[in-house]
Structures are given as C-alpha cells and as structure tokens.
Structure 1
Amino acid sequence: MLHVATGPELTAADLYDLLRLRVDVFVVEQECPYPELDGRDMLASTVHLWLREGGAVLGCLRLLDEGPATRVGRVCTAASARGTGLGGTLMAAAVERIGARESVLGAQVQAQGLYARFGYAPEGEVYLEDGIPHISMRRPGSTP
C-alpha cells in the first residue's frame, strides 16, 4: 500500500522504518558509510513516499524542494522486493506528485533505465558517489 507524508506528518515509527530500510540498502548492503541523517527528512517541504506490505516497508523515496526543481532521492527497494515492479510503482507515484514541475535525480548507473521510463534523461558525465557510479538525470518541466 502506498503511503505519502511530509516530514512533519511522519510518525516516529514510520520515520524509523524508512531510515532502517535506507541504512540496510545504502550503508549495509552497498557498503557506503555516509551520513544518512542529513537534516532534510523532517522539513515541511520534504515529501516521503513508501510502500508497505505486511507491516514492512519494501521501498521508499523522498522528494526535496530545490527551488525551480524537485529532487528525487533516497530511492531504494528492499532486497526481497527487487524485480517485482515496486520501484516503478514508486516512481510513477513520484512523477504524478511532481506534476509539471522540473525534477532531477542522481541515478546509480545501473538504474538509469528505470528513470528513463519516466522521462528522465542523463546529463553530464558519470561520477562516483561513495564508490558507486552515478549519473545526473533531469526530467524537464512542462507548461501547465
């Protein structure tokens, strides 16, 4: 089931579950020790989207207001849910929420096909973030 909440609307339990999944995927599985707590999760302008099944969060992402564009970030799926289309479901909900606004993201290179399905195009050169190849991607805004 899809859940949506701004930072202040998150319950402590929901925030814990989102952070646990992000740490499990990014820090433990991908071996990227980085400061997961960046001060942006609880902002009123941050929107969290997540899918929960049987009490467990299986995937999540967040939308950050960055002036003229929305940044899609912290996109992750539990290992047990990969290959099920859950990432596409989350991205479809994110793109619907973003609407006509321009949006950007930093994609792990192997995942750029997922984002391309939603209108994101790579720009610039591949770069390393925490030892993992990434590429910036942009989805242009449209006039209402």
Structure 2
Amino acid sequence: MGRGTANVGQDHLRRVILREHDVPGGDNIAFIRETVRYCVGIGYNVILEGILYEPHYGAMLRQLVDEHPGPTHVFYLDVPLEETLRRHEGRNMSVSGDKLREWYKPLDLLGVPGEITIAAGLGLAELTAYVLEQIGPVEPPRRNFGAAQFL
C-alpha cells in the first residue's frame, strides 16, 4: 500500500524490541496498542499483523476497532496445524513442534462484525488481491510523506 501505511508487526514489537514471551497481560499488548494509536494519530493507514491470540490480545484489538475513526478491517488467516508445522520447519526458531501443537488454537477469531476468515490455500498474490478487494479504496494518508528525508 506504499508510503503512508505503517506495518505494525506483533512479532517485532514483542520478540525483538521487548524480548517478551506471549503471556497474558504482557507489556507488548499496551505497546502494540499505543504504536497503532500513534501511527493513526499522525496520519498513517495501519496494518497490524501477527498471531494475536484472542485471550491475550482480544480486548485490546476490540478497543482499537471500536475507537478507530475510519474504516477498519479484520482478517483471520485460517492455517491448519499441519500447515503451521510445515511452515515452521523452514524458519530459524527455537520452538519445537510439540510446543506449537500445545499453542495452536484453531479458529481463534476476534468476533467483531465483518471479520473475514481466509483459507490458507491461497498463494501470496491471490491473498493480497483478495484482501485489497475486500477493503476497497483506501483513503490517502492525511499528510505528505514524500517530503521527509533521512540524512
């Protein structure tokens, strides 16, 4: 979606910046909420992505959806356990398959009106096209991002 769209990644904020495990009431939950609020407040469109386990993140996510002044879209990518395990094999992570099986929760939906569940079988291009079709035209950011330069 180009300049003016902030991609807020749960893994980056939680695992890289805070080095925190995914726990109920973790510091990353408020950090994610405030990062999204800040980006919206300075005029960015925001994509929040991650494995946002509803019992840990649900209240915060519903709060963000409720308070957002513009259109909000919620997508759940339904990846079966076996596919999750297959994808995990190619990543450099120290989490075992047994641990993934323990953590896995099928259809961990947020339960907000309009939430869209997407089957995992789509390729990246098809998935991207589908999401863009569902969200429709996006308002341009509320500021000129082309003028900023980093020295």
Q: Which has the larger radius of gyration?
A: 2
Report if TM-score (shorter chain) is over 0.5. Answer: no
Q: TM-score, normalised by structure 2?
A: 0.34
Hey, which of these two has a bigger chunk of helix by percent?
2
Hey, which of these two has a bigger chunk of strand by percent?
1
